[in-house]
Amino acid sequence: MSLLTIDIGGTSIKYARFDKGQLSNQGAFATPDNLDTFYQHLSAVVEQFKENSDVCGVAISSPGAVNKISGVIEGASALPYIHNFDIHSEFEKRFGLPVSIENDANCAALAEVKFGAAKGHSDVLFLVLGTGVGGSFVIDGKIHHGKHLFGGEFGFMLMDEENSFSTLGTTVRMAERYNTRTSENLDAIDIFKLAFAGNEIAKEEMDIFTFNVAKGIFNLSYSFDPECVIIGGGVSQAEWLIPEIQKQLQKIMDTIKIAPFMPEITACQFKNDANLIGATVDFVQTFNK
């Protein structure tokens, strides 16, 4: 079975053919600023693949809260024109093929569970450390969306009396705090270098970041007891990240002495292709193919 898989992003839309676990014929175009052009570009890509290959469906990764029952992409994203109407039916009418749509973070989680760092596991937490904290909760190999489609929105968790996980658990907010304290204008990579070189303020801010990520992982692990926790987002590829989080987890374990197990954490395997691959997993689950 061959699928056309599409990853709708805020700045570009990527696409590829997916067959036997492999991506091929990959391409991309700039994300249009209006719905008509959006439809025109996507329809042209679909027609191209229908003429030149045996694609039997279209798997889509999208921003926003995808309501798979109504076909509506709820919530908000950088593409306001894709929200709050039955876009799923519109896609199937225009493409003439079965279409599946799933949230982009959920697609990345499905890619890791099916083919990547969590392969062989069925109950997995996928934590995305980006501008905010997002993620997915996979149960029995499938996404848990929740009643209000907020399953995996870990960034809403309150970490102290006033700060959320997205406030304390991202490198973006870490850099903001450091620059406010020092009147400098450094990015997160520079601040991490300073921290490892012994700069006290940089080290304090890095510790706030890593401790709160560990705290979030600990609380989620003892709430849902997954087989493993996968960390995604740009910082996940830093070699020091997992050891630093494990150090912070050990501090928490030393405090909560009745906690019997250390959460198993690992970095995601797929990077830019995760959403394309995961969308195909969702297609197969949706249509049971």
Confidence at 82, pLDDT banded by 50, 70, 90: very high
Which single residue is written with the structure tokens 């067959």?
19
Confidence at 288, pLDDT banded by 50, 70, 90: confident
On whether the CB atoms of residues 57 and 287 are closer than 8 A, the answer is yes
Instruction: List 233's β-bridge partners, or say none.
Output: none
One-letter identity of residue 142 = K
Higher pLDDT, 78 or 179: 179
The whole-number pLDDT of residue 289 equals 63
The whole-number pLDDT of residue 105 equals 93
Instruction: Tell how far CA 86 is from the center of its chain.
Output: 23
User: Residue range 132-155: average pLDDT?
Assistant: 94
180-202 pLDDT per residue, tens: 999 999 999 999 999 999 999 99
The whole-number pLDDT of residue 272 equals 84
Confidence at 168, pLDDT banded by 50, 70, 90: very high
Contacts of residue 2, Cβ cutoff 8 Å, sequence gap at least 6: 17, 18, 19, 53, 54, 55, 56
The dihedral through the CA atoms of 67, 70, 74, 79 has a sign that is positive
Across all residues in the chain, what is the average pLDDT?
Answer: 95
210-248 pLDDT per residue, tens: 999 999 999 999 999 999 999 998 899 899 999 999 999
Radius of gyration of the chain, Cα coordinates, nearest whole angstrom: 20
Q: Which CB contacts under 8 angstroms, 24+ apart, belong to 87-91?
A: 90/39, 91/42, 91/58, 91/60
One-letter identity of residue 192 = F
Instruction: List 18's β-bridge partners, or say none.
Output: 3, 23
Distance CA 208, CA 216 (A): 12
Could you give all domains of the chain from N- to C-terminal order, each with its CATH number? 2-108+271-288 (3.30.420.40), 119-267 (3.30.420.40)
CA-nearest of 281, 285, 276 to 9 is 276
What backbone torsions phi and psi does residue 254 show, to the nearest 5 degrees?
A: -70, -25
CA-nearest of 239, 26, 230 to 108 is 230
